[in-house]
Structure 1
Amino acid sequence: MTRLQETITMATLTLLLLLSAAFTLGDRMTARIANDLVTFAADQRNPCPRGWFQFNSRCFMFVKTARTWPNAERHCQLLGQKLKPVYNTVKYLGANLASVHSYEESQFLQAVVLITTGSFPLTWIGGFDAVQAKVEKDRLWFWSDGSKFDHESWAEGEPNNNNGAREPCIHFNFGGTLSSIKLNFFE
């Protein structure tokens, strides 16, 4: 492991430790600690463009404009086309709604949303049911960036196709868990 990798690893571990403490404390304290986390992250060697937040080798940003899931995904793809490599360490081949691959990454994304909005609004992420089946066992979830759907933290009773409606999209910040939802929820 190089010196830079060790520094980034330690910075990430420190960030996650502070983030865990932030979510353990109350809202007022959480907002203050989240703001400190932004300052801390900005001080690190961040290969992400201005306004984006780095977690491991990926960059994230929160867009406040409400959109449907397909429109939000398309917006992310358009943003990705405008990005250029920074420091030649991260390749920007495009962007998608966020995929979540660990508890730590989920906590990090919640902090990004909190830092950007000052609260925890329901937020689209890139999870999508490819089959859109009515029966849960027949559903096939994937991430819009093509990565493996390898981390699940569903809210109690989710995914559920509420009242028989097909809910093929995922949002989070529902108590830190995932929830399936209809496509036209945020029009």
Structure 2
Amino acid sequence: MAMLKSCLLLFIIFSMGNTEVTITRDVNGLDGLDVDLARRCPDTWIKSGLRCYKFFSHPAKWITAERNCQRLGANLASVRKKQENDFLLSLLPSSTPTWVGAHDAIVSSNVCPTLNGHWMWSDGTVFSYSHWCAGEPNSNPHGYYSCVEISYSSNRCWNDIGCFYSKPYICVKELRDRHADPQLL
């Protein structure tokens, strides 16, 4: 009967589609069956941790790039730590300025100058890490530099720039729901 349950469980798991299965024995080496499920990234996406990434070389304006990502169940990439920034840079052809999901919450410094420079991520991730180039963000006098490109200059750092420029972009999708697992924030 245990074998039948195990086979049924495996059948259900494999029929779910986008999963990887690891079968292990319990810590005591007993005949128990422990199944660990981990979702896979879609084809052509690259997995790192609990996220899937895809670089799109076809240039688009920032808002178009974000909408393109959303159509794929993703957002423009957010960066939470140095290792993630380094990973994103590894996806790019060298020195290719590329959109990520950071944007200034206040578009024009003329509207509310004290709030200009309040950076956010399009996927709702807390903006707690940055890798700005020297002198950045500099939000030009008219407040038009409201989006972020990575891999700017030979230093491969971040630059704030007008969202109306067309650039390649990186999308990211979570393998697990961030709201269900607060450690993913």
TM-score normalised to the size of structure 1?
Answer: 0.62
Letter in 2 for 1:74: R
Question: Aligned partners of 1:126 and 1:133: how far apart in 2?
Answer: 18
Q: Contact conserved, 1:136 with 1:160, CA < 8 A, in 2? A: no
How far the C-alpha of 1:46 sits from its partner, in A, is 7.9
Structure 1 runs of 4+ aligned residues shifted over 4 Å read: none
With a CA cutoff of 8 Å and minimum separation of 6, indicate the structure with the bigger relative contact order: 2
How much has 1:176 moved relative to structure 2?
Answer: 2.3
Kept after mapping to 2: 8 A contact 1:125/1:170 = yes
User: Post-superposition shift, 1:138?
Assistant: 3.7
- Asked if 1:70 corresponds to 2:85, the answer is no
Give me the whole-angstrom Cα distance separating, in 1, the residues matched to 2:84 and 2:39.
17
Q: CA deviation at 1:79?
A: 1.6
Counterpart code for 1:182: G
Instruction: Rate the CA distance shift 1:176–1:137 in 2: closer, same or farther, 3 A.
Output: farther
Q: Which runs of 5+ in 1 are unaligned?
A: 5-44, 81-94
Question: Quick check: 97-106 or 171-180, which moved more?
Answer: 171-180
Q: CA deviation at 1:48?
A: 1.1
- Per-residue CA deviation, residues 28-81 of structure 1 (Å, 9 max, x unaligned), is xxxxxxxxxxxxxxxxx982111111111011000111000000000000122x
| Paired residues for 1:49-60 under 5 Å | 49-60=42-53
More strand by share: 2
Is residue 48 from structure 1 mapped to residue 41 from structure 2 by the alignment? Answer: yes
The secondary structure found in structure 1 opposite 2:166 is coil
Residues 104 and 116 of structure 2 are in contact (CA less than 8 Å); yes or no, is this contact kept in structure 1? Answer: no
Q: Which runs of 5+ in 2 are unaligned?
A: 1-21, 23-37, 168-185
1:148 aligns with 2:148: no
- Deviation string 1:92-145 (CA, Å, 9 cap, x unpaired) is xxx00000011110110011113xxxx331100000111124357642110000
**Equivalent residue, structure 1, for 2:80:** 101
Deviations 1:134-164 (A, max 9, x none): 3576421100001100101111111112353
Aligned in 2, Cα 1:138/1:173: closer, same or farther, shift over 3 Å?
same
**Identity percentage over the alignment?**
34
Structure 1 residues 120 and 144, CA gap change in structure 2 (3 angstroms): same
What one-letter code is carried by the residue in structure 1 that aligns with 2:82? Y
Distance in 1 (alpha carbons) for counterparts of 2:47 and 2:71:
19
Q: Which has the larger radius of gyration?
A: 2
| Structure ranking higher in helix proportion | 1
Q: What amino acid is the match of 2:139?
A: N
CA contact (8 A) 2:108 2:143 kept: no
Distance 1:136 1:166, change over 3 A: farther
Q: 1:137 to 1:157 in 2, by over 3 A?
A: farther
1:1-187 correspondence runs (5 A): 47-80=40-73, 95-114=74-93, 119-134=94-109, 135=113, 138-162=116-140, 164-174=142-152, 175-186=155-166
Give yes or no for contact 1:106–1:176 (8 Å, CA) kept in 2.
no
**One-letter amino acid matched to 2:64:** N
